[in-house]
Amino acid sequence: MPEADALADLGVTLNATGGELRVWSASATSLELCLFDRRDANWIAKRLPLERGDGDVWSVTSPDLVAGVRYSVRATGPNKTGHKFDPELHLIDPYARGLDRTKNGDWRGYVQEPDTFDWGHSTKPNIAMDHTVMYEAHAKGISKLNPDVPENLRGTYAGLAHESTIAYLKELGVTTIELLPVQQFVSEQRLIKQGLTNYWGYNTLNFFTPHAAYASREAQLGGTGAVLREFKGMVKLLHEAGLEVVMDVVYNHTAEEGFTGPTTSLRGLDNRNYYRQTADGKYVDVTGCGNSVNTATPAAHRLILDSLRYWANDVQIDGFRFDLAATLGRDQANVFDPEHPLLLAIRDDPKLAGVKIISEPWDVGMGGWQVGNFPAGWSEWNDGYRDRMRDFWLTDIGHTRAHGSAPNGIGSLARRLAGSSHVFRNDRGPMASVNFITAHDGFTMADLTAYNEKHNLGNGEKNRDGTDNNHSFNFGAEGSTDDDAIRESRCKAMRNLLGTLLLSAGIPMLTAGDEFGRTQRGNNNAYNQDSELTWLPWEREGWQDELLEITRQLIHFRRENPALRPVRYGIAGETIPSATQMDWYNKEGISMSDQDWDSPSQRTLQYLAASTPEFEEFNRILLIVHGLEDDVTVTLPEHAGVNGYTLLWDSAIDDPTEWMPDHVPGEELVVAGTSMQLFRAH
């Protein structure tokens, strides 16, 4: 007989005679269910004790526990070091599928109606990893200023799913929208005192409910069930358009903050077991947010896994990006373990089969930087890629202008361009690397080219917040300028950054607005700026439309050329299916020497990549990268099977409609300073 699963069916389960509530707590001495009057969420209509059962799971059944009822849990326990019991507090059931708020701001669980949502013919697009182009966006900010969205739907789930928003995403060519946190969150106490709000949403209150404020006013008035239906409707419409939805999820910490922060759920139920602590009851904070969820305990492990199952199946989410994922992989001694049971369970759970899993592979604790160390099957944000590409096109150029020579050669860029095999194990391949130049956190791409320093005074922290390590270069003026030469240098730098991102092996992630040069006026930590500073602008200048069209072209070239998106790493002398055979040439068309790789004065390479077909037709491309501001003459390489090169894109040209000529091996051509050229070889 298989062993009974004591942690099964936590939360509320409805049946023909009412419902059952199951809550885990190993430390409580008693738990009480409070059912509230339907007209007054502050009036307790009934109190029912829960009974402890197997595995420290407490339960109660009641004919009054039915759909539409608001409820809370009260917990009594020892007044000892590390505990935080208060029998007067109304706690949120960690598995609550709905939330309601009282007039005085307290939270109540809400028993959702049985799921009758009609998904129709909508199915998950299941886009292959090598065809995936991520688009990181804010659920509110993406449509808040969109004039084609009805005013009452702007900044909502419905606004994100509006036909005009979807049409924009489809025309851009991205496949997968990655949403900043959309699980119910609240602003930190510090921000509330400052009169500010948490815009990004990395402060989760509950792991099973969508953030109500992003729903339309009509849905909010309809209650938590209507909010959930609007969220599902958004997913359905995006799926029908062939777009995937990935959620940025925050399981590493909660909105309960530090030990003296607000107690709303886990802390009041079993603080000692849900949060990482020292023996004397102090929090082990490896997140920088006040607390760290203790995934070494079975209950916390299961809570996260059950939440993922809910979103992936009941809500049809396609994947998850795990914030500060190193925290999730820490053991009982708070040491990161790449074979942590939770990390393996997320990958191997049959109920999560086919789901994209992406880690932010670091936190702020000891040993917190774990890029390249997650298990096979996981993809990771590659911050080394981000920093090196910024350096090559930005800070190295600034250094060259100031000191007469660049500080680095081109070898480091080439390794990352080819899929970062020096970072990820061979069995994981290029799909382990999520490549990005920018994300929500930091400068926008336009600001990388316009600011040497952060400008965060508006955040209320006297410009102390946000990183000072931006790897940016303003090309001669801080902020906006009327200098045409500086403006053109910035535009070309953006084209180079976009080209590098979208033509590299790995999974590209584009930050919303970078495709047309959105600015945040130098704010590199706009987490508390819920305004036009952070919302996606829908009115563009001419140069922005040109940049947008170039981004569309680059995504198209990526899709049409499998040599740009290998699934596996190549091995010299072998033919590996769905890999890329790579040949590297210098500006003379000769195989690269060590000096060519490493010399700061030889920052030019030609990357000839041929696909090794498994599912698609054979394809070969040539990519020329030149990282100095002086023009260079390049001799196109001669290679067996190559008879000619068709120029597809030149980053030195700002007009994406300009005619591109054909060339032959051995031909000399001039490559403009700091630019890239993409050819199809034939």
Catalytic residue among 306, 318, 323, 380: 323
Provide the b/e sequence for 154-191 (b: ≥16 CB within 10 Å). bbbbbbbbbeebbebbeebbbbbbbbbbbbbbbbbeeb
Pair of tokens at residue 621: 């491309």
Backbone angles phi and psi of 327, in degrees to 5: -60, -40
3-class DSSP assignment, residue 102: coil
From the candidates 100, 188, 360, 391, give the one annotated as an active-site residue. Answer: 360
DSSP 123: -
* DSSP letter, residue 645: E
Residue 339 is among the residues annotated as catalytic for this protein: no
How far is the C-alpha of 678 from the C-alpha of 585, rounded, in Å?
Answer: 14
Token reading at 68 = 């539409």
Question: Of 371, 605, 404, 370, whose CA–CA distance to 500 is shortest?
Answer: 605
CA distance 130 to 562: 8
Whether 323 is a known active-site residue: answer yes
Longest dimension (CA), the chain: 86
Find the DSSP H helices in 108-240: 157-160, 163-172, 189-194, 217-222, 224-240
Q: Which among 576, 565, 573 is positioned nearest to 612, based on CA atoms?
A: 576
Which residue has tokens 């992003």?
214
What's the token pair of residue 524?
A: 């590199």
Measured distance CA(263)–CA(276) in Å, rounded: 16
DSSP 241-270: TT-EEEEEE--S--TT-STTS---SHHHHH
Q: Six-digit token pair at 273?
A: 């077991």
Taking the CB of residue 115, how many other CB atoms lie within 10 A of it?
11
Q: Which positions ≥6 away from 676 have C-beta within 8 Å?
A: 495, 496, 499, 500, 503, 623, 624, 625, 626, 649, 650, 651
| Assigned token pair, 353 | 């089969």
Q: Reading across the β-sheet that carries 675-681, which strands appear in turn?
A: 580-585, 604-611, 620-626, 675-681, 645-650, 662-663
How far is 559 from 605, CA to CA, in rounded Å?
23
586's CB contacts (< 8 A; 6+ apart) are: 592, 593, 596, 602, 604, 605, 606
- The whole-angstrom separation of Cα 58 and Cα 6 is 10
> Quick check: 47 and 33 in contact, CB under 8 A?
yes
Distance of CA 31 to the CA centre of its chain: 37
The two tokens of residue 280 are 């004397």
**Residue 269 backbone phi and psi in degrees, to 5:** -90, -40
Catalytic residues: 323, 360
